[in-house]
Amino acid sequence: MDGCPIRNTDFNFNILILNFHSYCLVRRSNSLPFWEFGYYQKLFNVDTVQVLRRILWSMIPLPGQATYLHHHIKPNPDLYGPFWITSTLVFITAIGGNMANYLQTVGVRNQIWHYDFHKVSFAATAVYSYGFLLPLMLWGLLQYRGSVANYTFLEILCVYGYSLSIYIPISILWVIQVAWLQWLLVIVGTVLSGSVLLLTFWPALKSDNLKVAILVLLLILLFHTLLAVGFMIYFFIASHSMAPVDTTTTTAFLKSTTRLSVNEQLSTIISSLGSSPSIVIKNAIHKTLNSTN
């Protein structure tokens, strides 16, 4: 008789504890709200080897059953790679752009060359918006079309962030002012990482209407190429940076000081070409030589 009420309250208490414990367990397991620190800690839960592997395989397309996303990203998409790859790309592009600008202007202007810090702002705007807005749009599109692959936004963001990693070595190499090399690098970079992107998103679009799927894939490739071409033209090609220079003064400067040296250079080139069979080039150079004289 005495034990009964106590047992009852004990039971209620037990239920309370049970509820509390299950609540704690659920909280601890996976569903942290986004405003808590632990939520983001989960997105940085990667090791060095893992990150290096993700960077490497984002550059090498492997056709087969398991895509890049399934093979390397799927269990835990991280934000470490995307964030630091985009940040590195911003600064490397700005630094490389300045170096390219210096190489273009060296010896041409007689004024002191100044570096342009504000290339950083432009590069940051371009890269961060590409790396965030495009995944957002793609995710929205996949949701809207009802894709069966169930790619989450974080996974798409992660794939896109890593796909930019190939442009870091490329934008270092873009500094070399050789036009065909620059265009070759654009093609190599776009084809390699672009095809990884296409292979990754093909399973998500496969079940959809074929026209839509191909259109979306083409758009992905187009934007990827546009980023590369835009960066190269804006930061690394001569015409943009030469534009503010007054052309008449430049040509006058060239005529007065460097004509002799230009002629000497051309004649050495011609003598070196003497043994080679490319007579067309030789003729062209002779023509230009005559016109400058």
Q: Residue numbers of the site for other proteins (CB under 8 A)? A: 14, 17-18, 21-22, 25, 37, 40-41, 43-49, 51, 80, 83-84, 87-88, 91, 95, 98, 112, 114-118
And the tokens for 284? Answer: 């062209």
Q: How far apart are CB 21 and other proteins at their closest, in Å?
A: 4
Token match 């069966």: residue?
Answer: 148
Q: Judged by CB, which is closer to other proteins: 21, or 286?
A: 21
Q: In the complex, what is the shortest distance from the CB of residue 171 to other proteins, in angstroms, rounded to a whole number?
A: 14
Phi-psi group of 64: left, alpha or beta (phi > 0 → left; psi -120 to 50 → alpha; rest → beta): left
**In contact, 106 and 113? CB cutoff 8 Å:** yes
Q: What is the DSSP letter of 37?
A: H
- Joined together, the tokens standing for residue 156 give 């798409």
- CA dihedral of 103, 168, 187, 211, whole degrees rounded to 10: -140
For other proteins, which is the closer residue by CB, 105 or 225? 105
Give yes or no for a contact between 151 and 69, defined as CB atoms under 8 angstroms apart. Answer: yes
Compute the least distance from the CB of residue 84 to other proteins, in Å: 6
Nearer to other proteins, 150 or 239 (CB): 239
Residue closer to other proteins by CB (options 2, 47) is 47
Length of the chain counted residue by residue = 293
Closest CA to 159 of 204, 209, 214: 204
- Closer residue to other proteins (CB): 91 or 128: 91
Q: How far is the CB of 101 from other proteins (least distance, A)?
A: 10
The number of angstroms, rounded, from the C-alpha of 13 to the middle of its chain's C-alpha atoms is 57
Shortest approach of other proteins to residue 92 CB, angstroms? 10
- Least CB distance to other proteins at residue 98 (A): 7
Which of 41, 288 has the CB closer to other proteins?
Answer: 41
Q: Report phi then psi at 211, rounded to 5.
A: -60, -45
DSSP for 231-292? HIIIII-HHHHHTTS-HHHHHHHHHHHSHHHHHHHHHHHHHHHTTSS-HHHHHHHHHHHHHH
In whole angstroms, how close is the CB of 18 to other proteins at the nearest point? 6
The smaller minimum CB distance to other proteins, of residues 70 and 240, is found at 240
Based on CB atoms, which residue is closest to other proteins, 41 or 209?
Answer: 41
Q: Is residue 147 within 8 Å of 207, Cβ to Cβ?
A: yes
Smallest distance from other proteins to CB 72, Å: 16
Contact (Cβ atoms closer than 8 angstroms) between residue 216 and residue 204: no
